[in-house]
Amino acid sequence: MTERTIDLRSDTVTKPTPAMHEAMMAAEVGDDVYGEDPNVNALQEEVAALLGKEAALFVPTGTMANQIALKSHTQPGDEVIAHPMAHLVRAESGGGAALSGIQFRTLGNPDGTLPLEEVGEAIYTGDNPHYAPTRLICMENTHNFAGGALISPEHIEGVAEKAREQGVAMHLDGARVLNAAVALDVKPTRITGAFDSTTLCFSKGLGAPVGSVVAGSRDFIAKAYRYRKMYGGGMRQAGYLAAAARYALDHHVNRLAEDHENARLFAEGLMEIPHMKLVYGMPQTNIVFFASDHPRFGTALLVTEMKNRGVLVGNSGPYNARAVTHLDVTRADIEQSLAIVREILAG
C-alpha cells in the first residue's frame, strides 16, 4: 500500500486548497436567484470576458450547463450533430432526449474531430418534412473520451464555416477548455470564438469544489436563466462557490501545464513496462487511457490490483483504463504509481 491514496480517477476529485478555503469564507454573498450575489455576478462577467461572450450564467454542474445550452438552442424534434463519444451523447444520462426532445446525429473521427465533408452533408435544412432539421453542432475541447485530445482552432473554424453556410448554431462543451488553451498556448477566445455558446467547468483541473458556467449572447443567457430555474439549478447564497471559482481562475490556470507534464510522465513510464499500451497514444493534456495485455493481469484486474495498493484509476469499459492528473497529484505520486504497476506485472 502507498502511504496515502493516489486518486487518478478524474480531475473532479480535487479538494479546495487552504487559500481557496479562505477566499470562500471571506466571500460577500447575496441571493443569486434574485441576481444579488456580488461574487456570482463578478464571476459571470469575468468568465464572459475570458471566453469572448456577452454574458455568462453560473450553474451547479457541467452537465447542467450543456443541457441548458441544448434546451436554449433547440425545439423538440430538432436534430443535433455531435461526436459519438461526446460527453453530451455518452455521459449525460440521455438528457438531450429527455429534457429537450432532440435527437443526435453522431459522426466523428477517433481523435475527437468531426469529418468536415460529412458534417456538411449531415446538415438538414428542414426543407424535407421527412427529416428532423439540424439546429446545432456540438463539439468538445478537450475531448475527454478521445483521450483528452485537443481540437485545433483551425478545425473548429472549418466546422463553423459549414454551420454558418446552413444557419446552424455551434455549441462547445468546454469543461476543460482552459486545459486546451494552456496546451495550445493560445487565449481561450481563440478556441471559443467560433461558437455561439460554450461551457467551462471549475471543479475539474481548476480545483474548485462545485460549479460551471454557460456563456453566450445576452439573449441566449436570458433563455438559459429561465431553463436553469426549470432544471432546479437556481442557487441562493452561491457566492461562496463563486469565490472558489474566481480564486481558481486567478491562481490555477497556468499550473494546468504541470498536470499535462505529469500525464506525459505517466504515459512515458507505462510505455517502458512490458504488456502496457496507450489507447490513444501520448496524451496531449491531462488524460491517459491505457490497457494491459498481460497474460495474468489484464486491464480490469490491473485496475483492481492498483486499487488494492492505493492507486485509483478509472475503468473505461472492460478493456481500457483512464488516469487523469490534477491539482492534488504530484510528480512523486506519478512515479509511485508507475512503481506499483511494475510491481503488479512483475508478480
pLDDT (tens digit per residue) in 37-49:
999 999 999 999 9
For residue 288, give every residue at least 6 positions away whose Cβ sits within 8 Å of its Cβ, in sequence order, or none: 147, 148, 263, 266, 267, 270, 278, 322, 323, 324, 325
Model confidence at 257, pLDDT cuts 50, 70, 90, reads very high
| β pairing state of 55-59 and 212-216 | antiparallel
pLDDT (tens digit per residue) in 275-298:
999 999 999 999 999 999 999 999
pLDDT (tens digit per residue) in 54-86:
999 999 999 999 999 999 999 999 999 999 999
Are both 210 and 294 inside the same structural domain? no
Model confidence at 316, pLDDT cuts 50, 70, 90, reads confident
**Residue 169: phi, psi to the nearest 5?**
-80, 165
With a cut of 90, say whether residue 318 has pLDDT above it: no
The pLDDT > 70 percentage for the chain reads 99
For residue 299, give every residue at least 6 positions away whose Cβ sits within 8 Å of its Cβ, in sequence order, or none: 290, 291, 292, 318, 319, 320, 321
Question: What Cα–Cα distance (Å) separates residue 104 from each residue in 67, 76, 112, 207?
Answer: 13, 12, 16, 32
Are both 311 and 231 inside the same structural domain? no
Whether residue 185 lies inside any domain: the answer is: yes
Q: Which domain holds residue 147?
A: 18-251
CATH number at residue 270: 3.90.1150.10
Are both 246 and 259 inside the same structural domain? no
Whether residue 11 lies inside any domain: the answer is: no
- Please say whether the beta carbons of 60 and 235 come within 8 A: yes
Whether residue 192 lies inside any domain: the answer is: yes
Are both 51 and 93 inside the same structural domain? yes
For residue 226, give every residue at least 6 positions away whose Cβ sits within 8 Å of its Cβ, in sequence order, or none: none
For residue 330, the model assigns a pLDDT of: 98
- Please say whether the beta carbons of 53 and 214 come within 8 A: no
Are both 243 and 270 inside the same structural domain? no
Are both 271 and 122 inside the same structural domain? no
Are both 54 and 36 inside the same structural domain? yes
**pLDDT averaged over every residue in the chain:** 96
Whether residue 294 lies inside any domain: the answer is: yes
For residue 1, the model assigns a pLDDT of: 45
What residues pair up with 195 in beta bridges, in sequence order?
none
Model confidence at 319, pLDDT cuts 50, 70, 90, reads confident
Whether residue 7 lies inside any domain: the answer is: no
- The domain boundary, picked from 230, 251, 272, lies at 251
Structural domain total, the chain: 2
With a cut of 70, say whether residue 10 has pLDDT above it: yes
pLDDT (tens digit per residue) in 323-340:
999 999 999 999 999 999
Mean pLDDT of the 108-135 span: 95
CA 191/CA 197 separation, integer angstroms? 12
With a cut of 60, say whether residue 2 has pLDDT above it: no
Of 173, 252, 150, 162, whose CA–CA distance to 209 is shortest? Answer: 252
In this structure, the number of other CB atoms found within 10 A of the CB of residue 95 comes to 18
Whether residue 10 lies inside any domain: the answer is: no
Mean pLDDT of the 17-28 span: 97
- The domain boundary, picked from 215, 233, 251, lies at 251
**Residue 210: phi, psi to the nearest 5?**
-150, 145
Mean pLDDT of the 309-319 span: 87
pTM of the model: 0.96
For residue 125, the model assigns a pLDDT of: 87
For residue 40, the model assigns a pLDDT of: 98
Are both 114 and 221 inside the same structural domain? yes
Cis link prior to 142 (omega < 30° from 0)? yes
CA 335/CA 7 separation, integer angstroms? 13
Are both 221 and 327 inside the same structural domain? no
Are both 188 and 66 inside the same structural domain? yes
With a cut of 70, say whether residue 104 has pLDDT above it: yes
Are both 116 and 195 inside the same structural domain? yes
- The domain boundary, picked from 190, 217, 251, lies at 251
Whether residue 13 lies inside any domain: the answer is: no
For 2-6, 14-18, 162-166, 226-230, which range has the lowest pLDDT when averaged over its residues? 2-6
Whether residue 4 lies inside any domain: the answer is: no
Residue by residue, what is the 3-state secondary structure of 16-69? CCHHHHHHHHCCCCCCHHHCCCHHHHHHHHHHHHHHCCCEEEEECCHHHHHHHH
Are both 207 and 277 inside the same structural domain? no
- Please say whether the beta carbons of 224 and 68 come within 8 A: yes
With a cut of 70, say whether residue 106 has pLDDT above it: yes
CATH number at residue 215: 3.40.640.10
